[in-house]
C-alpha cells in the first residue's frame, strides 16, 4: 500500500454509515429551525435535489467517459484536471483545485479526507454519509484493502493501492479502468458505466451487461 498523506453507487455499509458529531448537530439544527418556521424544508430539498441531479455524480461520469473516449482529453485531465473539468462546464465551490488520478492494472487509487470531509461537489455531488464517517476516514489509510473488501472489491495482490488525502486545497477524482467490451459505446453510453464509488476508488466501473437499457 502507498499512502499520499503529505501533500474516495451508494452502498449500505453499517461500519461507515454513522453520523459524525458535526452531522448530528447539523441535523438537530435543521430540525429546530424547521420547527420554528425559520427554514423551508422545500427549499432545502431543492438544494439537495440540485446537487443530486444537476451537480452530481453524473457530471464526473461525463468527465471520465470523455477521458476514456478521447486520448487528448485524458492527457489534459491528468495534466490539469481543474481546467479540463471546467471545459465541460463543471465548476463551483469545492472544485477549484482538482487532481485526476488514473487506475491501471498496476495501481488502484482511493480517495479519503482524513481531517474532515473535503469532497469535489461539482463532479460528485453531495458526499455520502460513509465518506464522512470516522471509521472510513481512519480505515482507508491503515487498511485500504479491507475497506475495498467491505465494498465488495477484490484486487490482485500485486496491485498497489494508493490512498490520496483530500484537503481544502486539493480534491481528487479517480479515473476508473475502462471495462472491457466497450470499444463501440458512445460517450453517453460509457458515462452510464461510471459510478460515484468508482470515482472515489471504493468501487469499479460497471460492465456493459450490468446496465439496464
* CA dist list (Å): 111 to 32, 132, 156: 34, 12, 19
Tell me the domains of the chain and their CATH numbers: 2-8+31-206 (3.90.330.10)
Show which residues are catalytic: 113, 116-118
pLDDT in tens, the chain (213 residues): 555 544 434 444 445 545 455 455 556 666 766 676 766 767 656 665 555 545 579 999 999 999 999 999 999 999 999 999 999 988 766 657 899 999 999 999 999 999 887 898 889 988 888 999 999 999 999 999 999 999 999 999 999 999 999 988 899 999 999 999 999 999 999 999 999 999 999 999 999 986 655
Residues 6+ apart with CB under 8 A from 79: none
Amino acid at each position: 500500500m502507498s499512502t499520499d498523506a503529505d501533500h474516495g453507487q451508494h452502498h449500505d455499509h453499517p461500519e461507515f454509515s454513522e453520523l459524525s458529531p458535526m452531522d448530528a448537530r447539523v441535523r438537530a439544527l435543521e430540525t429546530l429551525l424547521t420547527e420554528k418556521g425559520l427554514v423551508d424544508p422545500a427549499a432545502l430539498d431543492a438544494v439537495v435535489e440540485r446537487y443530486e441531479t444537476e451537480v452530481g455524480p453524473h457530471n464526473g461520469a461525463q468527465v471520465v467517459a470523455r477521458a476514456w473516449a478521447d486520448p487528448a482529453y485524458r492527457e489534459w485531465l491528468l495534466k490539469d484536471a481543474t481546467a479540463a473539468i471546467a471545459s465541460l462546464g463543471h465548476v463551483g465551490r469545492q472544485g477549484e483545485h482538482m487532481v485526476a488520478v488514473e487506475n491501471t492494472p498496476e495501481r488502484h487509487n482511493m480517495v479519503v479526507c482524513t481531517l474532515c470531509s473535503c469532497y469535489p461537489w461539482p463532479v460528485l455531488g453531495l458526499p455520502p454519509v460513509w465518506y464522512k464517517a470516522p471509521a472510513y476516514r481512519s480505515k482507508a489509510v491503515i487498511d485500504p484493502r479491507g475497506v475495498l473488501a467491505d465494498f465488495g472489491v477484490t484486487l490482485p495482490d500485486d496491485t498497489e493501492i494508493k490512498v490520496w488525502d483530500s484537503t481544502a486545497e486539493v480534491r481528487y477524482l479517480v479515473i476508473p479502468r475502462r471495462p472491457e467490451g466497450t470499444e463501440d459505446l458512445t460517450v453517453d453510453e460509457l458515462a452510464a458505466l461510471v459510478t460515484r464509488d468508482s470515482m472515489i476508488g471504493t468501487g469499479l466501473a460497471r460492465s456493459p451487461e450490468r446496465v439496464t437499457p
